[in-house]
């Protein structure tokens, strides 16, 4: 039986997880794990790694394969790519399909308080970084607002455990932008130097992406601190 007073958040990389941990006041509890309290919920943030397989594996590693302790709310966070015109880097996308309607109704006021632009819509799945033409095609096919590589796996895990699922993502690349196809393996200065040396032709683009990542995760952190810090009474599913 899911614990309604518990929350799990997921983020793929250190560049997504660490800013969120700071924004939500969570403290390190081992490699890729942070714990604390968000609002009235006991909370854990899991750094999953990139992709659906990595996300599914991380959730099973942290919570086990049996229906033991299961948080009542699972939130897939981090960055996403826009699939529709009008979504800009730093905007937020919230996928609340299947969640209690109160979670949808509370989102807009929380975004206004956080000073961020929020779009409510579906987040599609991809198994690689999409080129602009691929994003346009997927947006039409799925009628989705954005795309990422982990939310589908986290949703499947949550639904299999009876948890409520929400995806809250910050846009990194607009519909016509090309996102980097890879990321540094770690978050130390030597990791960055090795990555820069291997991708030196892309340094101007990587620098811009780094600035966008920082701004986008700051916006997402402000929103989630308000949105998840409030109690939402149970209501029918959206």
The alpha-carbon radius of gyration of the chain (Å, integer) is: 17
Highest mean pLDDT among 33-42, 179-188, 204-213, 229-238: 33-42
Spatial CA neighbour of 223 closest among 113, 137, 146, 142: 113
Residue 18: pLDDT over 60 = yes
What is the set of domains in the chain, with CATH numbers?
A: 3-176+216-227 (3.40.50.1580)
User: What's the mean pLDDT in 108-135?
Assistant: 95
Q: 177: pLDDT confidence band, cut at 50, 70 and 90?
A: confident
| Alpha carbon distance 34, 39 (integer Å) | 16
Residue 63 has phi, psi (to 5 degrees) of -110, -10
Gap between the Cα atoms of 36 and 84, Å rounded: 35
- Quote the DSSP letter at residue 181: S
* pLDDT beyond 70 at 184: no
* DSSP annotation of 237: B
Whether the pTM exceeds 0.85: the reply is: yes
């Amino acid at each position: 039986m899911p614990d309604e007073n518990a929350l799990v958040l997921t983020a793929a990389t250190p560049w997504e997880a660490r800013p969120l941990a700071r924004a939500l006041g969570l403290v390190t509890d081992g490699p890729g794990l942070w714990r604390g309290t968000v609002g009235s919920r006991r909370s854990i943030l899991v750094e999953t790694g990139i992709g659906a397989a990595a996300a599914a594996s991380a959730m099973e590693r942290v919570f086990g394969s049996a229906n033991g302790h299961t948080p009542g709310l699972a939130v897939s966070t981090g960055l996403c790519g826009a699939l529709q015109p009008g979504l800009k880097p730093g905007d937020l996308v919230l996928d609340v399909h299947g969640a209690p309607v109160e979670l949808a109704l509370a989102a807009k006021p929380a975004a206004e308080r956080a000073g961020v632009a929020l779009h409510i819509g579906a987040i599609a799945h991809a198994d690689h970084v999409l080129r602009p033409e691929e994003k346009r095609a997927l947006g039409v096919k799925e009628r989705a607002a954005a795309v990422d590589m982990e939310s589908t796996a986290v949703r499947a895990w949550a639904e299999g455990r009876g948890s409520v699922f929400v995806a809250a993502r910050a846009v990194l690349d607009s519909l016509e932008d090309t996102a980097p196809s890879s990321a540094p393996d770690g978050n130390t200065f030597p990791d960055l130097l090795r990555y820069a040396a291997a991708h030196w032709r892309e340094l101007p683009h990587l620098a811009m992406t780094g600035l966008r990542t920082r701004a986008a995760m700051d916006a997402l952190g402000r929103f989630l601190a308000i949105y998840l810090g409030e109690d939402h009474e149970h209501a029918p599913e959206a």
